[in-house]
């Protein structure tokens, strides 16, 4: 009953509408002020500030500093979201996270370790198959600063996306629509389309959105089946952290002082399709066996209880 956890607070529709506006303002407007100020102090070129090109901005500020300020926007957005949930919805952070009595950190850790291992395995497999596509990029001092920034800030960035999309919006839309399939589809498409302005989309084409939307569906499914965000939180943090630390490229959202640099001309290939159509289904099988998932149709497409029915069931 993850979606019904919204009933543990005040769940009127207007609160969610205002919440989206407030969180977006904190995330995209107030959260961007430190980045804009840092860029303004670093360069006197209006063209650099107005370009919006991640490569140009990263070069102007320095990749580590740019990464920090970019991730800071998400951290500020997360603070706005959690405060709004606590004080306006009167809902606990735990009920925004899970239907369990307490957040299960073992689930977060398991998903993190599993996906980090698989990601590293795929990266080194690709290096073995196409070594000419990679060059060694390791420099100790900038890498240590990168690791410090990434380990602290990336989990905040990924948590912001999970709490906002698969927590706040999924619960809010679910209790308004009274079914599960629509919030699953809506939040999955939204997650994918949020990445449409990433530089890799411009470089590779819109076909890469198959990966982002497919990932959105995967994360939405494990959230509903597991009645909580824990697995999605661990998976998402592992995905972005390994990407930031291990491999960078001039055409990706994370341009960092990573261990390796991808110097290939990117194309839409197996590395986009295999995760969505092979690896994610296998992970669903692993998770379902490990956590005893049942009633897939009901959990993914069934009706959401009314507030009265939910509270009556909790009392019973």
Q: Is the pLDDT of residue 45 over 80?
A: no
Task: Lowest mean pLDDT of 100-104, 246-250, 278-282, name the range.
Answer: 246-250
Q: What is the DSSP string of 204-260?
A: H-GGGHHHHHHHHHHHHHHHHHHTBSHHHHHHHHHHHHHHHHHEE-TTSS-----SE
pLDDT in the model for residue 58: 72
User: Taking the CA atoms of the chain, what radius of gyration do you get in angstroms?
Assistant: 20
* pLDDT over 90 at 316, yes or no: no
Average pLDDT over residues 112-118: 97
- What stretch of H or E contains 167? none
Q: What is the pLDDT of residue 250?
A: 80
Residues 84, 20: contact at Cβ < 8 Å?
A: no
Q: How many CA atoms lie within 13 A of 105 on its CB side?
A: 0
Q: Give the whole-number percent of the chain exceeding pLDDT 90.
A: 78
Q: How far apart are CA 151 and CA 147, in angstroms?
A: 6
Phi, psi for residue 260 in degrees, rounded to 5: -125, 160
Task: Give the percent of the chain with pLDDT over 70.
Answer: 96
Average pLDDT of the segment spanning 27-51: 80
pLDDT greater than 90 at residue 36: no
Q: How confident is the model at residue 44 (pLDDT cuts 50, 70, 90)?
A: low
Calculate the alpha carbon distances from 24 to 51, 59, 155, 192 in Å: 22, 27, 19, 17
Lowest-pLDDT range of 160-169, 264-273, 275-284, 297-306? 264-273
Summarize the confidence of residues 232-255 as an average pLDDT: 91
Report whether pLDDT(146) > 80: yes
Which position has the higher pLDDT, 206 or 235? 235
- Looking at the predicted structure, is the pLDDT value of residue 221 above 60? yes
Task: Delimit the domains of the chain by residue range.
Answer: 3-315
* pLDDT (average), residues 246-258: 85
Check residue 269 and give its pLDDT.
Answer: 76
Average pLDDT over residues 268-278: 86
Q: Say whether 172 sits in a helix, a strand or coil.
A: helix
What was the pLDDT predicted at 46?
61
Beta bridge partners of 136: 260
**What pLDDT does 49 receive?**
63
Average pLDDT, rounded, for the chain:
92
**Which residue is associated with the tokens 């070594």?**
131
């Amino acid at each position: 009953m993850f979606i019904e956890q919204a009933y543990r607070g005040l769940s009127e529709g207007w609160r969610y509408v205002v919440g989206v506006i407030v969180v977006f303002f904190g995330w995209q407007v107030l959260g961007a002020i430190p980045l804009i100020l840092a860029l303004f102090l670093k360069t006197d070129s209006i063209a650099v500030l107005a370009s919006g090109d991640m490569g140009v901005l990263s070069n102007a500020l320095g990749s580590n500093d740019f990464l920090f300020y970019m991730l800071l926007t998400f951290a500020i957005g997360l603070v706005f979201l959690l405060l709004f949930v606590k004080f306006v919805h009167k809902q606990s952070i735990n009920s925004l996270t899970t239907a369990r009595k307490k957040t299960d950190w073992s689930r977060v850790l398991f998903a993190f370790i599993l996906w980090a291992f698989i990601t590293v395995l795929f990266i080194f497999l690709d290096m073995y198959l196409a070594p000419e596509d990679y060059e060694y990029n390791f420099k100790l001092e900038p890498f240590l600063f990168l690791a410090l920034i990434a380990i602290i800030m990336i989990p905040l960035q990924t948590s912001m996306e999970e709490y906002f999309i698969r927590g706040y919006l999924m619960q809010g839309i679910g209790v308004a629509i009274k079914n599960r399939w629509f919030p699953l589809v809506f939040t999955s498409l939204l997650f994918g389309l949020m990445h449409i302005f990433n530089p890799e989309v411009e470089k590779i084409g819109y076909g890469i959105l198959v990966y982002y939307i497919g990932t959105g569906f995967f994360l939405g499914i494990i959230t509903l089946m597991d009645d909580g965000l824990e697995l999605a939180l661990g998976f998402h943090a592992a995905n972005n952290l390994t990407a930031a630390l291990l491999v960078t490229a001039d055409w990706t959202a994370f341009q960092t002082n990573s261990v390796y640099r991808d110097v290939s001309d990117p194309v839409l290939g197996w590395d986009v399709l295999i995760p969505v159509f092979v690896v994610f289904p296998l992970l669903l099988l692993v998770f379902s066996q490990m956590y005893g998932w049942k009633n897939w149709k009901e959990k993914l497409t069934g009706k959401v209880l009314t507030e009265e029915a939910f509270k009556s069931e909790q009392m019973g």
